[in-house]
A and B are shown apart, each in its own frame.
Chain A
Amino acid sequence: MLEVSSLNKVYRSGAREVEALRDLTFTVDSGELVCLVGPSGCGKTTLLRCIAGLLEPSGGKVRLDGREVSGPPPGLAMVFQEYGRSLFPWMSVRDNVELPLKQKKITRHRRATLVEQALDAVGLAGTESAYPWQLSGGMQQRVAIARAVAYEPSTLLMDEPFAAVDAQTRADLEDLVRALWQRLEVTVLFITHDIDEAVYLGQRVLMLSSSPTVVQDEITVDLPAARDQLHTRADPRFTELRTHVYEQIQAAKLQPGGANASS
């Protein structure tokens, strides 16, 4: 379970202060898949870095599975948008997936099993000895997902992971994420700027305001759990939900600081 309470982040450089996150509070229950959408430049990356323990918040708390985050938490895996920069080009696919496991002091035998299962799960069996840059963009992002899966996290953070791949690959990867989430029963926080993607993937969608960021609104996606690209996206309820999210994001763009900013 991921709890974010009154999270605030102010960047200071000299006398200038920029408030990136104003006051963010939300919870992601264990095993839930929640999508975060917001207008561009809404401090998504700042929020994510705070949750991942890579950045110290100025105020408020992040708790993961009941423990306060003060550094990168052990049960958390992350998939970055820039797969080309987040995979290590000097390592083979296998070594990339295996490296975090070595750090976790998992036995050699168990590591081999985990790496094989993870690569299998993302449909990359047989590419173990290739270098990441020998693969296509979509396949590279699959490697990054495999690395996260092999880590056996309780929580998976995904930062606009499909923003840089083509539309068809993207649809495949979306279904892959849903399938993995259902199978592994992990908590997923999925950040995206794509409204359709958020509604298609999530059980809930949180909408962020523009910076300084607050939670603008949230909806529960009451679509059936079995989703597919063709029928779900054609469902009238899907259209209603995405229209609602779209309106909220547009509203967020018009009033920076969100509804709470008027005070």
Chain B
Amino acid sequence: MKRVAYVLGLPLVLFAAWYVLSAGSESFYAPPLSKILESFGKTWTLDRLTADVVPSLLRLTAGYAVAAVLGVAVGVTIGLNRWVRATVEPVLEFFRAVPPPVLVPVIILFAGIGDGMKVIVIAFGCVWPVLLNTVEGVRAVDSIQIDTARAYGIGGPALIGRVILPAASPQIAAGLRQALSIAIILMVISEMFAASNGLGFTIVQFQRSFAIPEMWSGIILLGLLGFVLSLLFRLAEGRALRWYHGLREAQRRS
């Protein structure tokens, strides 16, 4: 009860402040919140949600999943092999430094303007935090844990699956969390460039056709979406890494 109050407290205050302060607004570009909320209900009907929000979410999921699988797989390979790491790391730093939106025009050239392009853009942006965190996590696995496993005949895939990945999972989760917010940003950006549906596309459409309250309502929806996704992520992480939080708690107490 108290936690819910903490979570919802400040957002409600901010919303109320926005509502009150914008109540008498005459500005065309910053309409009163009451008007925005009114158009929110009218704009985001079930049809609209299936037509625009679902495609966006599918692209997001696909791009994020590709980045997660690729990032973890390549990250484990690099993390386990000192020579690969020494060779690849400078190049990784370079690619990571390239802002993914810059690549949208390039990727359009190769992958067209379909869903493939958007998935690639999202995947390209999300893969770096996952990859680099996985490398760090795998490198930091306790040598005693690995020795123990090996002494008991656990090697190869079993060593990776049962020891190295779980041991690195807290760090991998940190990478996945960073990647999630990047994924939402890139989902919107890729849809703003060239698309025929999706949240980013719709918001730009509203802006171009001077449907200002509708545009604002889209932004609010986007914010809500990001909030819900990060909440879901935290729930999943809390479950998967319960051992880790318990371990940390136990170490703090001793």
Contacts and interface: CB of A to CB of B under 8 A. Distances in A.
B58 to A, nearest CB: 32
A62 to B, nearest CB: 14
A151 B152 CA distance: 8
Interface residues of B, number: 23
B250 interface: yes
Given A99-B152, A104-B153, A89 B243 contact: yes
A90 B166 contact: yes
A88 B150 contact: no
Interface in B228-254: 243-244, 246-247, 250-251
A136 to B, nearest CB: 10
A133 B247 contact: yes
Given A103-B158, A133-B250, A78 B151 contact: yes
Contacts of B154: 99-100, 103
B151 A52 contact: yes
Best-surrounded residue of A77, A91, A133 (most CB of chain B within 10 A)? A133
A146 interface: no
B147 A100 contact: no
Contacts of B86: none
B153 A131 contact: no
B162 A99 contact: yes
Main secondary structure of the interface of B (DSSP, over half): helix
B148 A86 contact: yes
Contact of A89 (B150, B162, B247): B247
Interface residues of A, number: 26
B169 interface: yes
A259 interface: no
Contacts of B158: 103
B163 interface: yes
B145 interface: yes
Contact of A100 (B144, B153, B167, B169): B153
Contacts of A91: 166, 243
B153 to A, nearest CB: 5
Contacts of A54: 147, 150-151
B217 to A, nearest CB: 44
Contacts of B169: 90
A14 to B, nearest CB: 16
A133 B246 contact: yes
Nearest to A87: B148
A80 interface: yes
Given A88-B163, A99-B152, A100-B154, 5 more contacts: A54-B147, A72-B151, A80-B147, A86-B145, A89-B244
Interface of B: 142, 144-145, 147-148, 150-155, 158, 162-163, 166-167, 169, 243-244, 246-247, 250-251
13 contacts: A49-B147, A54-B147, A76-B151, A77-B152, A86-B147, A88-B145, A90-B243, A99-B152, A131-B246, A133-B247, A133-B250, A147-B152, A151-B152
Interface of A: 49, 52-54, 72, 74, 76-78, 80, 82, 85-86, 88-91, 99-100, 103-104, 131, 133-134, 147, 151
